[in-house]
Chain A
């Protein structure tokens, strides 16, 4: 399918399939943020100017939080977006580095499995008892369902990353596949400045030439 053969085709395939799902979930989260902006604007203008507030606005806003607070969690993990300290890790190379990465990924995997399981229980109770919000009685189970769903996807993502790190422990010199790599502060700075394109400016050239 791809132009150049992957060094780890099956892992690569799993990575790409899951990436599609993660991207879609991030898109849903992004859309929910846009919707919240619109609903809250209509609410404040309606309330102030027309004395016609959006019914159940607080309930809607609150329940929608679960969409953007959780759904993109695996997407963020794939891109290495969750903050961490790389102070010590940065000193390691090769096998010790991959070993440390594998251990911390495994620990996270176990944590997320446990949290997903019990978050599902939290959803199940809301579903069975028919919990609803105070004002317009929205059922709360859909928002509670977001947590186990998002953690489930994160679990699979962590599993793929764990396999990726284990592969590198076995063959430390192989090309890394499906794992987040440590980026140094200069690369981080470049990513930040590329994201913030000012007005009247052409985006910085992305010719790939290393300036340093």
Chain B
């Protein structure tokens, strides 16, 4: 068998493991380990290959995990878990309400911008959706909002958390495709804001046509508006710390993440977070951290084997040989992600496919940073689409009076908005690239 054939065989084998319910991290590592031994056996004979292949696989977990760039992950995850105790959601929603409440569908627009603000201290879509389902939905329903709109905006707003830093998934993308973590995080900032603006525009236009969906709310004076700002200072300071330190090169991403986590920690303690709550936040952080590290090293064992098999190069060559314009191929790849994402967890899906897909997309002439943002946006899309759009289930779980079908229907306009956002980012890649290009330090 040629190396390429071994590559394909082992990949199929790995898919069988996955379908049998093996954990993604272990299925990838097992496929990679078998593949390494198999490929080396062709070069040095089975006995030597067994020792060399297994030795290689056994070294990868430590050598690939213990790199400074990865130390940012627990910091970002910790910020997210501490943020719940720092009393930020109500303040954000209140401020957003006073500033945007006058627009048609004002409370829904306020929810979008409040979730975008909360995204600055959270990298988790589902958690953001859960928090705002508690804070924003009751208020919208009280004001007579359509329950589908109220639920949809929260489920969709949650997805902003992964684009706006801190974002664990962007760090993971950076590690797997060997790009600068700082640049990817900074690159997510503007697309996150653009997404929020497009969400808001969709709400305003929908409610303008059908005012019954979201009645106009109370008008606030400018004094009231400015009075709502100080309570959001913690969020603003965290944005300043994370964004500023990376953009201007004051600190490494990990230092920025740690300082951000420390600030949120201090605020949470000042607001009376108990020792028990701190312990729980840390334990949850540790659990999520080990999950992400496990999948990273598992996939990297597989990636090492892929390199030997030459699968990524072969796929690139094949993609380039296709007689279609790059944009058509890109759209096909994105459509494939949209379908795959309906059935797979986003992190697993991206990690397993990117090592092969990303080089091919680069070969088509697209920018790696830009593609990272697009692909993460696609992965987020899957959180609001049936059948397993987790954000919708989260909203319905917090608000059992709204059934999950209604949440999915409420998300439909935001799905359109997301497709529009991706189109905008494809048409104007500068939105993604301008900030990372202006950065002082990689």
Residues of A within 8 A of B (CB): 26-27, 29-31, 33-34, 36-41, 43-45, 48, 58, 61-66, 68-73, 75-77, 79, 81-89, 100-101, 103-104, 107-108, 111-112, 114-119, 121-122, 143-144, 146-147, 182, 185-186, 188-190, 192-193, 195-201, 204, 211-212
Contacts and interface: CB of A to CB of B under 8 A. Distances in A.
Interface stretch (B79-87, B102-110, B169-177): B79-87
Contact of A68 (B258, B290, B398): B290
Interface stretch (B123-131, B198-206, B354-362, B433-441): B123-131
A82 B291 contact: yes
A55 B290 CA distance: 27
Given A82-B25, A85-B343, 14 more contacts: A40-B71, A40-B75, A48-B251, A68-B293, A69-B65, A73-B290, A100-B21, A108-B23, A114-B57, A115-B57, A119-B62, A189-B396, A192-B130, A193-B394
A199 B398 contact: no
A63 B54 contact: no
Contacts, number: 271
B19 interface: yes
Contacts of B75: 33, 36-37, 40
Contact of B30 (A79, A107, A119, A185): A107
A84 B87 contact: no
Given A195-B127, A198-B89, A198-B134, A70 B65 contact: yes
A188 B345 CA distance: 12
Contacts of A38: 258, 262
Contacts of B67: 62, 65
A43 B48 CA distance: 46
Interface of B: 17-27, 29-30, 33, 54-55, 57-59, 61-63, 65-68, 70-71, 74-75, 78, 84-90, 124, 126-128, 130-135, 245, 250-251, 254-259, 261-262, 265, 271, 279, 282-291, 293-295, 297, 343-345, 347-348, 387-388, 390, 393-394, 396-398, 400, 404
Given A104-B20, A121-B55, A111 B347 contact: no
Given A76-B291, A198-B84, A199-B87, A40 B255 contact: yes
Contact of B397 (A31, A186, A200): A186
A118 B54 contact: yes
B359 to A, nearest CB: 24
Contacts of A76: 287, 290-291, 294
Given A115-B58, A117-B58, A200 B285 contact: no
A103 B20 contact: yes
A194 to B, nearest CB: 8
A114 B291 CA distance: 20
A81 B30 CA distance: 19
A197 B398 contact: no
A37 B261 contact: yes
A11 to B, nearest CB: 21
Given A37-B261, A68-B74, A118-B57, A26 B283 contact: yes
A7 B57 CA distance: 39
Contacts of B55: 118, 121
26 contacts: A26-B283, A29-B286, A30-B286, A33-B282, A37-B78, A39-B258, A44-B250, A44-B259, A65-B65, A69-B289, A72-B290, A76-B290, A82-B25, A82-B26, A83-B291, A85-B345, A86-B21, A104-B17, A104-B21, A108-B26, A111-B29, A114-B54, A116-B58, A146-B62, A189-B390, A196-B124
A83 B298 CA distance: 12
Interface SS of chain A: helix
A82 B282 CA distance: 18
Contacts of A31: 282
Contacts of B256: 44
Given A100-B20, A199-B89, A144 B294 contact: no
A75 B291 CA distance: 10
A26 to B, nearest CB: 5
B59 A84 contact: no
Contacts of A45: 259
B65 A199 contact: no
The 6 closest A-B pairs by CB, nearest first: A118-B58, A40-B258, A189-B393, A30-B282, A69-B293, A193-B130
Contacts of B58: 114-119, 121-122
A108 B22 contact: yes
Contacts of A116: 58
Contacts of A200: 87, 89-90, 135
A90 B268 CA distance: 40
Given A72-B290, A115-B58, A192 B127 contact: yes
Contact of B393 (A33, A115, A147, A188): A188
A83 B355 CA distance: 19
A101 B89 CA distance: 41
Contacts of A192: 126-127, 130, 390, 394, 397
A107 B21 CA distance: 11
Contacts of A112: 26
